[in-house]
Amino acid sequence: MTNSHQNTTPRDIRYQYFIENVIAWEGVWALYNNGWLICPGEGEQRFCPFFASRDHAMAWNESAQTGYIPTAITLIELTENLLPDLARHQIEPGISPTGDDGPILPGHDPLHHDLIAALKRSIAGSAS
């Protein structure tokens, strides 16, 4: 038997956890206060942080002290509206930032693809 996790990094695990939980719950959490929180990244880059759960959003928000409120976003709203809007404004989706580690920045298209692929697997698995 081979170890399929031999090259898996903590960031890979965090990203996979995010995808699996988003599909199971059919939504994500972000921080809102008259608009979605946009954070500075490296250089000119900016990102919008997304979380797999309200608890993760609250924990990060408490350490960052943004004054924003954890708010749910449906999977449909995320994939059909928010991700394309972020792409138009050159704002990256920032997956699961933590106090110790910045966000995972998969890019708009790869994130969309990963979410849709996981959703299709979920639907196929529940149909069998």
- In the chain, the domains with their CATH numbers are 10-116 (3.40.1350.90)
Checking if the pLDDT of 4 tops 70, the result is: no
pLDDT band, residue 127 (cuts 50/70/90): confident
Considering the chain, what is the average pLDDT of its residues? Answer: 91
DSSP secondary structure of 93-112 = EEE---SSS--B---HHHHH
pLDDT band (50, 70, 90) for residue 128: low
pLDDT at res. 42:
81
End-to-end alpha carbon distance in the chain: 26
CB 39 within 8 A of CB 49: yes
CA 59 to chain centre: 15
pLDDT at 97 over 70: yes
Q: Where are the alpha helices (DSSP H) in the chain?
A: 10-25, 54-64, 75-77, 83-88, 108-127
Q: 1 pLDDT exceeds 60?
A: no
* Contact (CB, 8 A) for 46 and 38: yes
Task: Give the integer Cα–Cα distance in Å for 86 and 18.
Answer: 19
Q: What is the pTM of this model?
A: 0.89
Q: With bands split at pLDDT 50, 70 and 90, how would you rate the model's confidence at 43? A: confident
